[in-house]
Amino acid sequence: FADTKEAGSLLVSEFIVKTLQDNYQKGQSSVLGLATGSTPLIVYKNLVTAFQNGALSTQNLTTFNLDEYLGLAANHPASYAFFMYQNLFQYLDISDERIHIPSAPPKKTDESIAEYQQLLGQTQRDIQLLGLGKNGHIAFNEPGSPATSRTRLVKLDESTRIANSRYFESPEQVPEHAITMGIADILESKINIIMAWGEGKAEAVKRAITGPISSDCPASFLQQHNKTIWFIDQKAGKML
Ligand code: F6R
């Protein structure tokens, strides 16, 4: 629990910097799984500050993003590739080949999903960052997603499209489909860090942490992972 999202985000960014710097000092590479949306924004800001202050080196860093909308090019302002560039990558010392974001160019969808899955499977993530959907989703694993799910094309819930329409000019412009890592992929990260800020997430937090493990609330599968750390503010935790 943190009092505010600022305080919670600071704990998360300190944890990431420490993990990455420990690896760097040992001459090892680091692999971070990244999320988009409003939840990790302050964490990314803090990471940029740490990088600029010399407290964080990113030369040995590889990243994998959780998800991407289907049909949005990387230069579309609402694409997750664009979001990551805007909020994080443009400030870091990280080359394009070490940045992985699922994508599905027309006619090559299956191929590029298989390629992403293969790369992900070959790489042990040190930390996977996650946000929580109000309907209990993690990445774009909407309710109904099985524990065994892998990277795939999914249809977005109407509630998710409405929640995310704030990034588009109109709700109809929110793509109906996305590519997402699966639950099984998320559970393979060494550490999962899931963050939730604000009252709007309180019910989903309660279901995910105290409810039954079920695909009705995909985040509840994190109960089966032995190193999942929740960072929530007072408001998101008010139903616990
Ligand atoms: C984003 C993602 C989603 C969001 C979730 C919460 O990459 O995978 O699961 O984490 O929809 O969104 P925000 O943070 O905007 O409340």
Catalytic residue selected from 67, 68, 126, 233 = 67
Look up the ipTM and state it.
0.99
Domains of the chain: 5-232 (3.40.50.1360)
Q: What pLDDT score does 108 carry?
A: 87
DSSP code string of 59-118: TTEEEEESEEETT--TTSTTSHHHHHHHHTGGGS---GGGEE-----TT-HHHHHHHHHH
Q: For 184, phi and psi rounded to 5 degrees?
A: -60, -35
Establish whether 135 is a catalytic residue.
yes
Q: What pLDDT score does 105 carry?
A: 79
**Residue of the nearest CA to atom 15 in ligand 1?**
37
Q: What pLDDT score does 109 carry?
A: 87
Per the structure block, which two tokens stand in for 42?
């302050």
- Say yes or no: CB of residue 142 within 6 Å of ligand 1: no
Contacts of 58 (CB under 8 A, 6+ apart): 20, 51, 92, 93, 94
Q: What pLDDT score does 100 carry?
A: 98
- Say yes or no: CB of residue 133 within 6 Å of ligand 1: yes
| Average pLDDT by stretches of 10, the chain with 240 residues | 97 98 96 98 98 96 97 93 98 97 86 96 98 97 98 95 93 94 98 98 98 98 98 98
Ligand 1 closest atom vs CA 80: 7
- Say yes or no: CB of residue 204 within 6 Å of ligand 1: no
Establish whether 3 is a catalytic residue.
no
What is the pTM for the complete model shown?
A: 0.97
